[in-house]
Amino acid sequence: MAILLCGAWALDQPEGRAEQQRWLQALHQALPGEDWVLQAPEDPAQAAAIEIAVVANPPPGSLQGLPRLALIQSLWAGVDRLMQDLTLPSGIPLCRMVDPAMNEAMVQTALWATLALHRGFFQCQQQQRTALWRQPPQLRAAEWQVLVLGQGELGGRVARSLAGLGYAVSGWSRRPRTHEGVQGLHGEDGLSRGLAAADTVINLLPLTDETRGFFDARRLGAFKRGASLINLARGAHVDEQALLAALDAGHVGHAVLDVFRHEPLPAPHPFWSHPQVTVLPHTAAQTDPRSAAEVVASNVRALRSGTTLQHRVERSQGY
């Protein structure tokens, strides 16, 4: 039996080959002695030997023609691109990546952005350009309302971490969920109440058909005037023109954006130069091959021992 390692790496470029080798080295250490196939096989005998596919948004069709495939393990937390592949084999368990190191990095980014908004540090950065000495007001953390959208493993960690710093934190999800120190909100009514009260809104929702374009003119208009948006999930969650209009009108005070509809963000895009936008180059949290490889190894062992796979995707829900 063999394991296919397949991704969107540009293997005709040195950077793409280096990225693939970085993953392969980590996976070799976590799963010694395995037979690894590094591209979608064309030989039927090799295809028949593949039991597991470890993937990083591979080209559509890469997982066709693998008759013994028993597990698709994603190396990325989001599986929206995988789910858009109409050739993705049905009935095969698909597991997303929940990397402890990446989760910790995402918590750090969310804390940094919230602190910078709460304490007016982005405003100070703007003032520095014109040598303006003006102290922003210093509110207590408990006076700053934070709404975290998405209360899965990652969103729950972010919400609890912010609550641990003394912020007034609410967490919204489709279904009721509770976390210690976090006010639980759910449903459209809970979303409306949360958006109206929050000083900072942090987006950690999965990208599904229901959440695509989630931040449109209507939802941005439901923000408390002057509130800020931190988007660390997917660029497709945001209607970019609606956000720019809300920023220009002063209804949204600031946006910290790590993800975009088109990446890299094109040089002429107005986000680059907008005074109320902080652009991050999709670097809020990157999967760490060392810890992620251990997650892959755990699910490989679970498959072979017949025990429960971790972080299995509910395909009907899209995450």
Would you name the residues annotated as active-site residues? 234, 282
Residues sharing a CB contact under 8 Å with residue 38, sequence separation 6 or more, in sequence order: 5, 6, 20, 24
Phi, psi dihedral angles at 78 (to 5 degrees) = -85, 140
Per-residue tokens: 228: 């800020």
151, 171 contact by CB (below 8 A): yes
* Cα 225 to Cα 26: distance, rounded to the nearest angstrom: 47
- E strand map for the chain: 2-7, 36-37, 50-56, 71-74, 94-95, 145-149, 168-173, 183-186, 200-203, 227-231, 252-257, 277-279
Going by C-alpha positions, the residue among 293, 317, 303 that lies closest to residue 93 is 303
Residues in the chain: 319
Going by C-alpha positions, the residue among 263, 309, 310 that lies closest to residue 81 is 263
Q: Given strand 252-257, what is the order of strands in its sheet?
A: 183-186, 168-173, 145-149, 200-203, 227-231, 252-257, 277-279
Per-residue tokens: 22: 């970085």
Q: Is 45 exposed, middle or buried (0-12, 13-18, 19+ CB in 10 A)?
A: exposed
* Cα 159 to Cα 174: distance, rounded to the nearest angstrom: 16
Going by C-alpha positions, the residue among 196, 282, 281 that lies closest to residue 233 is 282
* Cα 42 to Cα 64: distance, rounded to the nearest angstrom: 10
